[in-house]
């Protein structure tokens, strides 16, 4: 069995480890977002919703806990969308020409980059989860050790499928471009609407109807839903709104992400088959 994708994976992970600036900045930015924006907004939301009576038997969580799940999703989104950037550098440095000329199947290039990006997302998600708990996010509150472990595995499963979808998209875009500046511009253009047209920071039922429709086909919405289900629970109240999830809803959210990842892999595979590197 050809395991050439492991070479691509290992090389990308070594690059990630050696570029300490990239490693640190990718962790510091979401941590600062959670620390400053989360704590400040949590105080405001708690004050504004203090007059709303809690529902009997429904646990209440503060805004910091609510948005911490969104920050984990945001970190995964940014890491995944920019995951294909290394392919663009390989093209510009002539390395991609050598890889294409080797016996390595082209789909192994996609798998290697996707696997390394998924590993980075795992590392960052766990670190952000731990940091969130340290500053006061009520993740896994009242969970037993076994339930906490299963909840973390559930979060990582959602993160894995979501990150694969956007890593495949990033790979398809990067193999089609020549300029890193063009790649960065497209990624920046995609991140803002995907992030803000989701339930990462605010409940989507407060959105205008058109934006609600967009959020319902936004993969980030389903990732955040999965994270909140496993980290907070299936029944809670936050910023005056009652949230209740069923296993069927979570299963459908996961299937949506699988469908998205499948479509993006098909797109990436089609672009790599057509790609010509000189």
Domain count, the chain: 1
**What residue spans of 51-144 are helical by DSSP H?**
63-81, 85-93, 95-101, 106-135
Q: Is residue 241 part of a domain?
A: yes
pLDDT score of 1? 43
Look at residue 12 and tell me if it is in a domain: no
Three-class DSSP labels, 33-71? HHHHHHHHHHHHHHHHCCCCCCCCCCCEECHHHHHHHHH
Asked if 263 and 166 count as a contact pair (C-beta separation under 8 A), the reply is no
Flag whether 106 is in a domain.
yes
Q: How far is CA 173 from the centre of its chain?
A: 18
Task: Look at the alpha carbons of 14, 17, 20, 21 in this order and tell me if their dihedral is positive or negative.
Answer: positive
In a domain, 103, yes or no: yes
Which regions in the chain score pLDDT beneath 50? 1
> What pLDDT does 255 receive?
98
pLDDT at 151: 97
For residue 5, is it within any domain?
A: no
pLDDT at position 93 is 65
Structural domain that includes position 149:
22-49+56-274
| CA pair distance 23, 20, nearest whole angstrom | 5
| Within a domain: 111 | yes
Neighbours of 248 (CB within 10 A): 8
**pLDDT given for residue 7 in this prediction:** 73
With a CB cutoff of 8 Å and minimum separation 6, the contacts of 258 are 161
């Amino acid at each position: 069995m050809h395991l050439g994708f492991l070479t691509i994976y290992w090389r990308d992970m070594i690059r990630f480890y050696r570029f300490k600036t990239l490693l640190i900045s990718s962790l510091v930015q979401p941590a600062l977002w959670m620390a400053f924006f989360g704590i400040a907004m949590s105080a405001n939301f708690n004050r504004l919703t203090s007059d709303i009576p809690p529902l009997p038997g429904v646990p209440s969580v503060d805004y910091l806990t609510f948005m911490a799940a969104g920050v984990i999703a945001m970190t995964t989104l940014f890491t995944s969308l920019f995951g294909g950037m290394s392919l663009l550098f390989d093209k510009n440095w002539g390395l991609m020409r050598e890889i294409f000329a080797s016996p390595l199947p082209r789909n192994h290039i996609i798998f290697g980059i996707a696997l390394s990006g998924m590993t980075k997302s795992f590392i960052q998600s766990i670190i952000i989860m731990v940091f969130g708990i340290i500053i006061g996010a009520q993740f896994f509150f009242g969970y037993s050790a076994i339930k906490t472990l299963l909840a973390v595995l559930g979060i990582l499963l959602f993160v894995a499928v979501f990150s694969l979808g956007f890593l495949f998209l990033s790979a398809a875009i990067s193999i089609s471009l020549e300029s890193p500046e063009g790649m960065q511009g497209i990624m920046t253009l995609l991140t803002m609407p995907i992030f803000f047209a989701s339930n990462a920071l605010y409940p989507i039922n407060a959105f205008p109807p058109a934006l609600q429709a967009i959020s319902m086909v936004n993969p980030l919405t389903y990732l955040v839903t999965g994270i909140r289900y496993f980290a907070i629970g299936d029944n809670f109240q936050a910023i005056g709104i009652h949230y209740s999830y069923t296993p069927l809803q979570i299963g459908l959210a996961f299937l949506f992400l699988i469908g998205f990842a499948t479509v993006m892999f098909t797109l990436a595979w089609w672009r790599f088959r057509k790609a010509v590197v000189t």
